Amino acid sequence: MSEAKPKIILRTEGFPDQRSIKTYVDKAEGYTAVRKVLGGLSREQVIEEVKQSGLRGRGGAGFLTGLKWSFVPKDMPGPKYLICNNDESEPGTFKDRYICTVNPHQIIEGMIIAAYAIGANKGYIYTRWEFQEEIGYLETAIKEAYEAGFLGKNLFGSGFDFELDHYSGAGAYICGEETGLISSLEGKKGQPKVKPPFPAVSGYLGRPTIVNNTETLANVPWIINHGAKAFRQWGTEKSPGTKLFSISGALNKPGVYEVPLGYPFASLLNDEGGGMQAGRSLKALIPGGASAPVLTPTECEGLTMDYEAMAQRGTMLGSGAVMIIDDRQSIAELLKVTIEFFAHESCGQCTPCREGTGWLNNIMDGILDRSAKPDNIERLRTVSRNMGGKTICALSDACAMPVMAFVQKFSDELQAYLAAGSGSHSK
Amino acid sequence: MSQESQVTQLPKETITFNLNDRDITVPKGTTVMEAAHRNNVYIPHFCWHPGLSIAGVCRFCLVKVDNRPKLEIACNLQATPGMKVSTLLPEVKEAHKWALEFHLVNHPLDCPICDQAGECKLQDFYMEVGKYKSEMDRPKVLKPKALNVGSELVLDTERCILCDRCVRFEQEVTKTGALGIFNRGDRAIVGTFPDKKIEHNYQDNLVDICPVGAFTSRDFRFKQRVWFLKDKPAVCPGCSTGCHVNVYAKPEVRTYYRVKPRESAVNSFWMCDTGRKTYKHLNQDQRLRFPVATDSAGKRKRVSTAEAVASLVAQLRSVAVQDVALLVSPQYTCEEYAAFFDFFVKKLGVTKVFQWREPTEKLEEFDGLLYRGDHNPNTFGLSEALAKVGLPKDVKNGFDDLAHSGAKLVIALAPEIGFQFPSLDSQFQRLSELPFVSVWTTSAAAYNVQGFKHLLPLKGFAEKRGSFLNYQGKVGELAHPFPAAVDDAHDVVEVVTAVADVWAHAL
């Protein structure tokens, strides 16, 4: 079992007819974990097993999944909801869509188990609108699961009911934030809700709701089948298990790879990713999606792919979106598209984010057309510093953190760009 | 409104927490913002409003809680026992500076032409917590201006700071949901839905709750700089709800400009647009400016108050008391009714007393919020006053009865708020056909009725002391009068006192 490159999430990858319920059931222990759970485990036992496994949310924040589930009030009468956050919208991330492509049933099975654990009888998969193909895969999978009797009433004779629907928003980044997602699912404008109350107590339609990332839920069946201890054989003490990484950039083999957490970055780059393309060298690394602060090649030395190592270097593992920045890329242009993205996606409720992201974008316009005053480069940091930690959701921080890192680490290149145009190949 | 339910609530469990080194005890569940608000600790804010739900979006009311890593917003922070909160630490002050800076990034700073100037929260906070030197040196985002979003309103989305108060007001108070925030990020704008406008009778509340100059009042726009205005508390005379209000005037030029609601258990924070128009009749161009009497030759002429009173007393002496009738509208104060009935009913023995009401009124109407079908502020007080002198207290329009009563001398307390009496012109006309009517009124309209032989100018509601009893019998006080806009104007108590005096001396 302790192979070097274990497959938990992508274990049907490359199988013929990999998405079908038959493949999952026949070749990948499909729907055996849910039988085990509904055949005799208590809710507390399920939550405890997931807690013991140390599974952390794979959407970006890395919060302990079992702990999150335990926040749902046990004895509260009335409906509770489970939502699969499949809105994967962090720039650079494309791992959840790949799970939908490889094995959507694993998500469904994970959801049934999670729903049982929190006492929800209704679930939704909320998918990013742009994933039209994957929406089709999910809808087919849901249909198959209903036909097989794995969804609906009295599952496996246990008396437990679970209905599952699919929903898609209009394609806003902020609908990947759990309360923004809930607003969208409620038919409202997709904007995060002020907390407290937290969704585990008052979420979708004001009812207790758990929102979990697709990859997180896809881990659950394996953990139930093989136990927390087996899960912990991979990864580190605080980052157990495997993780999907979406690697992009000037590599020979960009793509989605499943490796144990704590995996060396150098191996990920050179083995899985096939190394840099000929003639390109690593200029910078964005290790966890557009909101993760950038690392320099020096900082990448000895880097391992886990939550702790990233935190030590002042950045984050995020959603596992590894973006390789090569020597031909302009930091000014990269920073501009990063900021423009957040300025475009800010929902606009909280003033520091609404005005801050727009202001930063405004300054970047000035840097790109060289109308900005030189002190505007340092101002990017001042504005960012004052946007952080002040808003309802993390979008403001998600924009501020990378900006501060870019300006701190590539100040010279930005200054030079503004002064003369060096560092740019497109101006 | 909601305040009524608060009165009946049982005393709650309380907790004590510490705000700026001061222990404060509040009911359990109170937010730090509410606690601060009630204890005179001011925490800067835009989006929080005591009459609306919590939005938590302006991010201005940041405070520091001991042992918590991040600053938190006071409006959504429940005070818990022993919690130590500071609004004074340097990091909090720095956060407030920047919160304001972000609000000003795309604000047009057009204060010199903005009606909100002088009562603008952006200006106030700029002085109190501002950074003074902005770091914004880029072109600003431009947005639509001077939008017609309702009959009473003009909207400037560039001045708007997107605090969401107006949106919540439309959702929670009028329940019309007429406003939304469209688009995202710094392109977000407040507005109405396509081809729709705000249509209710509470539009000007949006101007009140808008902390900046985004919503301005069509009526007040460009009329006067607010720092030249004086405001005095009063009670709205526009209907039987009796909203507590402030009247804004420039007394040195004897001009009234607007009426705004004043927080009270009666009206919470709101009032209707109809009530806001009750300042207009107070201005000189609407007023009866001097007493009028008719000489023996039948010629109407301007007289002094003393002459007018003397001529009225002479008329009173010339008729038998049973030929005297009183016609009383429900728009005067309890104190005025008391003086009026004390003299004419108790002392002189007048028995013909009629209520002057609008024949088309529908007393049972109510818009569900504040505005009632009884468009008089003191129907309740008039009934009480009538009962006190042994007369029937039923609410009844006695205008026709008066016309057929055969009275030879009528003293009429005319309705003050003429626009609430659509039949007033025709009623004036009918009255003027009676043998002798002394009309006591604020209104210039009475002067234009040639048949009226005797007119006495009265003070308006903002110019006198007294009280109204609203539809529930709750007292609404007029205690802070402006000087009358018309020199010769008196309230009914003063006129009756003068009449009684002359009557007594003439004996």
CATH of the domain at A278: 3.10.20.600
A136, pLDDT greater than 90? yes
Among A266, A294, A326, the domain boundary falls at A326
The Cα–Cα gap between B479 and B477 comes to: 6
Dist CA A35 CA A39 (whole Å): 6
What does the pLDDT read at residue A423?
Answer: 44
Do A258 and A191 share a domain, yes or no?
Answer: no
State how many domains chain A has.
Answer: 3
| pLDDT score, position A106 | 97
CB contact under 8 A, B186 and A358: yes
* Residue A297 touches chain B, beta carbons under 8 Å: no
> Which has the closest alpha carbon to B282: B484, B472, B74?
B484
Q: Is B41 on the interface with A (CB under 8 A)?
A: no
Is A3 contained in some domain?
no
Q: What percent of chain A has pLDDT over 90?
A: 94
Q: Does A396 touch chain B (CB under 8 A)?
A: no
Question: Mind giving me the DSSP string for B365-409?
Answer: -B-SSS-BS---S-HHHHHHHHHHTT--------HHHHHTTT-SE
Q: Which residues pair with B231 in a beta bridge?
A: B248
In a domain, A249, yes or no: yes
pLDDT in the model for residue B1: 40
Enter the tokens of residue B469.
Answer: 């009893």
Tell me: pLDDT of A363 over 90. Answer: yes
Q: Looking at the structure, do residues A165 and A48 belong to the same domain, yes or no?
A: yes
pLDDT of res. A3: 55
Long-range contacts of the stretch B133-138 (C-beta < 8 A, 24+)? B134/B101, B134/B104, B135/A379, B135/A382, B135/A383, B135/B101, B136/A359, B136/B101, B136/B104, B136/B105, B137/A373, B137/A376, B138/A359, B138/A362, B138/A363, B138/A365, B138/A366, B138/A372, B138/A376
Interfacial B residues in 85-124 facing A (CB < 8 Å):
95, 98-99, 101-103, 105-106
**Residue A271 and residue A185 share a domain:** no
Partner-chain contact B138 A356, CB within 8 Å? no
Within this chain, do residues A296 and A202 fall inside the same structural domain, yes or no? no
Structural domains in chain B, sorted by start: 10-103 (3.10.20.740), 107-228 (3.30.70.20), 288-505 (3.40.50.740)
Q: Are residues A269 and A316 in the same domain?
A: yes
Residue A104 falls inside a structural domain: yes
Note whether A150 and A219 are same-domain residues.
yes
H, E, C per residue of B117-143: CCCCHHHHHHHHHCCCCCCCCCCCCCC
Q: Does residue A14 sit within a domain?
A: no
- What was the pLDDT predicted at A422? 44
What integer pLDDT is reported at residue B339 of this predicted model?
Answer: 98
Which of B134, B165, B186 to probe by mutation at the A interface, max A CB count within 10 Å?
B186
Q: Chain A contacts of B136, Cβ < 8 Å?
A: 359
CB contacts, 8 Å: A345 with chain B:
184-185
pLDDT < 70 stretches in chain B:
1-11, 506-507
Any chain B CB within 8 A of the CB of A386?
yes
The H-or-E segment that residue B477 falls in is strand B475-478
**Chain B residues within an 8 Å CB radius of A392:** 56-57
Nearest chain B residue to A393 by CA distance is: B57
Give the range of the structural domain holding residue A312, as residue numbers without chain letter: 242-326
What the block records as the tokens of B135 is 């770091």
Residues A283 and A353 in one domain: no
Torsion (CA) B278, B283, B285, B287 in degrees, nearest 10? 80
Q: What's the order of all strands across the beta sheet hosting B153-155?
A: B147-150, B153-155, B215-217
> Worst-scoring range by mean pLDDT, A5-14, A30-39, B150-159?
A5-14
pLDDT of residue B390: 95
pLDDT at residue B131 in the model: 87
Residues contacting residue B193 through CB under 8 Å, at least 6 positions apart: B178, B180
- Mean per-residue pLDDT over chain A, rounded: 94
Which among A348, A355, A366 has CB closest to B102?
Answer: A355
CATH of the domain at A389: 1.20.1440.230
Considering CB atoms only, which of A194, A343, A365 is closest to B185?
Answer: A343
| Beta strands per DSSP E along B104-243 | 147-150, 153-155, 179-182, 189-192, 215-217, 230-235
B77 and chain A in contact, CB less than 8 A = no
Q: ipTM higher than 0.85?
A: yes
pLDDT surpasses 80 at A195:
yes
**pLDDT surpassing 50 at residue A304:** yes
Residue-level pLDDT at A421 = 54
pLDDT value for B365: 96
Residue A224 predicted with pLDDT over 90: yes
| Contacts with A353 (C-beta within 8 Å, 6 or more apart), sequence order | A346, A347, A387, A391, A395, A396, A399
Give per-residue pLDDT as tens, B310-361.
999 999 999 999 999 999 999 999 999 999 999 999 999 999 999 999 999 9
Q: Which of B311, B237, B295 is nearest to B495 (CA)?
A: B311
Do A383 and A415 fall into the same domain? yes
Q: Are residues A72 and A186 in the same domain?
A: yes
Claim to verify: residue A345 and residue A307 sit in the same structural domain = no
A366 touches B at CB < 8 Å: yes
In this prediction, residue A279 has a pLDDT band, given cuts at 50, 70 and 90, of: very high
The closest CB to that of B102, out of A351, A372, A389, belongs to: A351
Which of A296, A326, A356 terminates a domain? The answer is A326
CATH number of the domain enclosing A56: 3.40.50.11540
Task: Quote the tokens at residue B70.
Answer: 């991040």
- A137, A227: one domain: yes
- Give the number of other CB atoms < 10 A from CB of residue B137: 13
